[in-house]
Amino acid sequence: MTARASRAAKAPKNRPGEDPATRRRVAPGTVRRIFPYILQHRRTVALLLLVTVVDAVITATSPLILKMIVDDGILAGNSGTVIRLCLLVAGLALVDAAALYTQAWCSGRAGEGLVLDLRTQVFAHVQRQPIAFFTHTPTGALVSRLNTDVVQARQAVTTLLSQSVSTVLTLVLVLGAMFYLSWQITAVALVLIPLFMLPVRLIVRRLQRLIREGMQLDAEMGSLMNERFNVAGAMLVKLYGNAEEESALFGGKAKRIRDIVVAQVVQGRAIAVTVSVITAMFTALVYGLGGTLVINGTLQIGTLVALITLLLRLYEPVNQLTTVQTSAMTALVSFDRVFEVLDLEPLITEAPHAHTLTTTTPPDITFTDVTFHYPTTTRTTLASLRATTPHPDQPTTPTLHNLTFHAPAGKLTAIVGPSGAGKTTLTHLIPRLYDPTHGTIHIAGHNTRHLTLQSLRDTIGVVTQDAHLFHDTLRANLQYAQPHATDHDLTQACKKALIWDTVTQLPHGLDTIVGDRGHRLSGGEKQRISLARLLLKTPPLVILDEATAHLDTETEAAIQDTLRTTLKNTTTLVIAHRLSTIREADHILVLANGTVQEAGTHQQLLTNQNLYATLYNTQFAHQDS
């Protein structure tokens, strides 16, 4: 069974209206998978455990010294013993302080190391996911998985590492010391211990669900903010949305988080209160029983003092047992959510013995009987990474079917067809943004599935209608395609893409920050920057998807001239809407309903009097005038 399938099988049945992502139980084996992460920092963890043991031993043994001070020193009238033992108590207090300081250092160090390991691993894994994953996953949910969940895992693990050991050890040592002093009183105490544990057990189950629901809602809030708080999202809300409704939606989620956190605090507090009541009764019992035994002469006064001190020290670890349980639950849930992402196998992977495509000469492209369905949500992402419960996947009709064609090397192939025909989809299959459901694609005679993804993508340059720029300087955006490009290279590329004059007028030239998604620039300017980026990369295979659609006719004609000379010997696929481009193409593919209806040159296709002739008459002919 695949990880994907086994995870689906683990989800228990939902109650109506309940999110399956919240109901999911922690996957078995999660604890085993956490250990390697902790072992990465074994030295720090070993030191952490050592100082924790030192602290626990000091906590449990210092009351025994108090007994000796009272019984062997004060009551025996031996001031030398009193001074020596008091100095020992003071010395132990200093050692304990050093141990606690080292404990804080170690847990911080091991915890941050763990965060680093998990973060880099999840980031690298998410980068390997195909485009379909990103189209089905809200960004905020992903960011929350990398931030909140990873940090929660760290906090919980560091608390667990130090607290669980110190809690258990202190409990054992303190009870051992109490047994040593008076087994009768300690036996009564032990009978009461299950009373501490009962409420804890009852609440832990509910806590686990609350923690997961809290994390899920946190991720949903992150997604909401991520979608609304960028230029495009904010603009959409202003033009079409209702700010009050948006606030109400956000407020609803924030309120639920508040309720969950309050429930967590209240339940944690309820346990603490129960524990303190039981401890108070316990103290009364020890005073009553111990006091009577002292009066009877069965117990020494120093022993009673030591027992009371030990009793007070028992309170803390028992109380901590509740935090340890919550931390353990948080750690398990957080790690489980992180592992869930790491277990999501990318739909597009490199073949085990993939080879590098080394062509520098323009390659040809061959599609053979290619059929393609867009992958469904369930196949591409995780239930817990989606903002809402998905509808059951419906069977889809193929977007492309039985597509067979050949785009010759070093030639310009134009793809035309009605809107929704599948032109963009076809181009996405070439750099393996998606894989065909059936059929094969060959570049320079190599099946694209047998090539390394990096070499395949290095061979191809793409410019789309909606050019994307990062929120960085123009220089950084251009160098993204060619990190070693010099200022001279950048200037030349910008000049060829007819954007240099605009760049020089910007306040900081190439060092101007382009804004979120390049919003500081107009659509046409972004497209020209994107073309300059392509020219810097100089790939042997170029795909232009309406790459000049935002330009005015004059600028577009000038750019076409540049591209004509620059891409002269490059294999170019162009989704065209301009008659001039189509007419110049060496080869035209006419696409309709996801399949090639016709192919040939402009003249041949006009003579055929088929779909192309119709498109020409309705869309292109007027451009002749």
Ligand X SMILES: Nc1ncnc2c1ncn2[C@@H]1O[C@H](COP(=O)(O)OP(=O)(O)OP(=O)(O)O)[C@@H](O)[C@H]1O
To ligand X, the closest distance from the beta carbon of 458 in angstroms equals 24
Kindly report the backbone phi and psi dihedral angles of residue 438, in degrees, each rounded to the nearest multiple of 5, phi listed first.
Answer: -135, 160
Instruction: Closer to ligand X by CB, 414 or 535: give it.
Output: 414
State which of residues 422, 431, 436, 524 lies at the interface with ligand X (CB under 6 A). Answer: 422
To ligand X, the closest distance from the beta carbon of 523 in angstroms equals 15
State which of residues 159, 182, 208, 425 lies at the interface with ligand X (CB under 6 A). Answer: 425
Instruction: Check binding of 420 to ligand X (CB under 6 A).
Output: yes
Instruction: Check binding of 464 to ligand X (CB under 6 A).
Output: no
Q: Which of the residues 108 through 127 are near ligand X (CB under 6 A)?
A: none
Instruction: Closer to ligand X by CB, 371 or 502: give it.
Output: 371
To ligand X, the closest distance from the beta carbon of 465 in angstroms equals 8
Instruction: Check binding of 548 to ligand X (CB under 6 A).
Output: no
State which of residues 14, 79, 135, 276 lies at the interface with ligand X (CB under 6 A). Answer: 135
Question: 3-state class of 434 per DSSP?
Answer: coil
Residue 356: closest CA among 444, 441, 451, 447 = 451
The C-alpha atoms of residue 618 and residue 603 are separated, in whole angstroms, by 17
21-29, 247-255, 415-423, 436-444 -> range binding ligand X (CB under 6 A): 415-423
Instruction: Check binding of 625 to ligand X (CB under 6 A).
Output: no
Instruction: Check binding of 596 to ligand X (CB under 6 A).
Output: no
To ligand X, the closest distance from the beta carbon of 351 in angstroms equals 24
To ligand X, the closest distance from the beta carbon of 434 in angstroms equals 8
Question: 3-state class of 59 per DSSP?
Answer: helix
493, 536 contact by CB (below 8 A): yes
Instruction: Closer to ligand X by CB, 73 or 417: give it.
Output: 417
Question: 3-state class of 194 per DSSP?
Answer: helix
The C-alpha atoms of residue 418 and residue 594 are separated, in whole angstroms, by 10
Instruction: Check binding of 419 to ligand X (CB under 6 A).
Output: yes
Residue 442 CB neighbours (<10 A): 17
150, 112 contact by CB (below 8 A): no
Question: Distance of alpha carbon 348 from its chain centroid, rounded?
Answer: 19
Instruction: Check binding of 423 to ligand X (CB under 6 A).
Output: yes
Instruction: Closer to ligand X by CB, 24 or 423: give it.
Output: 423
Instruction: Closer to ligand X by CB, 317 or 422: give it.
Output: 422
The C-alpha atoms of residue 551 and residue 290 are separated, in whole angstroms, by 93
Instruction: Check binding of 399 to ligand X (CB under 6 A).
Output: yes
139-147, 195-203, 219-227, 412-420 -> range binding ligand X (CB under 6 A): 412-420
Q: Which two three-digit tokens encode residue 502?
A: 């605009």
Instruction: Check binding of 618 to ligand X (CB under 6 A).
Output: no
Instruction: Closer to ligand X by CB, 34 or 415: give it.
Output: 415
Instruction: Check binding of 593 to ligand X (CB under 6 A).
Output: no
Residue with tokens 């402009």: 602
94-102, 221-229, 418-426, 440-448 -> range binding ligand X (CB under 6 A): 418-426
Question: What's the per-residue H, E or C state across 211-246?
Answer: HHHHHHHHHHHHHHHHHHCCHHHHHHHHHHCCHHHH
Instruction: Closer to ligand X by CB, 141 or 421: give it.
Output: 421
Question: 3-state class of 447 per DSSP?
Answer: strand
Instruction: Closer to ligand X by CB, 317 or 417: give it.
Output: 417
Q: How far is CA 603 from CA 130, 166, 485, 583, 616, in A?
A: 40, 85, 42, 8, 11
Instruction: Quote the longest CA-to-CA distance of the chain.
Output: 123
Q: How far is CA 485 from CA 360, 497, 531, 533, 566, in A?
A: 19, 16, 15, 10, 17
Q: Which two three-digit tokens encode residue 108?
A: 């911080």
Instruction: Check binding of 431 to ligand X (CB under 6 A).
Output: no
600, 583 contact by CB (below 8 A): no
Instruction: Closer to ligand X by CB, 323 or 376: give it.
Output: 376
Q: Can you list the alpha helix ranges (DSSP code H) found in 359-406?
A: 377-380
Contact map string, positions 334 to 373, toward ligand X, x by CB under 6 A: ----------------------------------------
To ligand X, the closest distance from the beta carbon of 369 in angstroms equals 18
Instruction: Check binding of 186 to ligand X (CB under 6 A).
Output: no
* Local structure of residue 72 (DSSP, 8 states): I
State which of residues 370, 421, 481, 534 lies at the interface with ligand X (CB under 6 A). Answer: 421
Instruction: Closer to ligand X by CB, 250 or 374: give it.
Output: 374
Instruction: Check binding of 515 to ligand X (CB under 6 A).
Output: no
The C-alpha atoms of residue 291 and residue 284 are separated, in whole angstroms, by 10
602, 585 contact by CB (below 8 A): yes
Size of the site for ligand X (CB under 6 A): 11
Instruction: Check binding of 405 to ligand X (CB under 6 A).
Output: no
The C-alpha atoms of residue 548 and residue 463 are separated, in whole angstroms, by 9
To ligand X, the closest distance from the beta carbon of 591 in angstroms equals 7
To ligand X, the closest distance from the beta carbon of 130 in angstroms equals 11
The C-alpha atoms of residue 589 and residue 576 are separated, in whole angstroms, by 11
State which of residues 148, 359, 378, 424 lies at the interface with ligand X (CB under 6 A). Answer: 424
Residue 410: closest CA among 472, 449, 465, 365 = 365
Instruction: Check binding of 374 to ligand X (CB under 6 A).
Output: yes
Contact map string, positions 52 to 91, toward ligand X, x by CB under 6 A: ----------------------------------------
Q: Which two three-digit tokens encode residue 472?
A: 């960085």
Question: What's the per-residue H, E or C state across 241-297?
Answer: CCHHHHHHHHHHHHHHHHHHHHHHHHHHHHHHHHHHHHHHHHHHHHHHHHHHHHHHC
Binding site for ligand X (CB under 6 A): 135, 374, 399, 417, 419-425
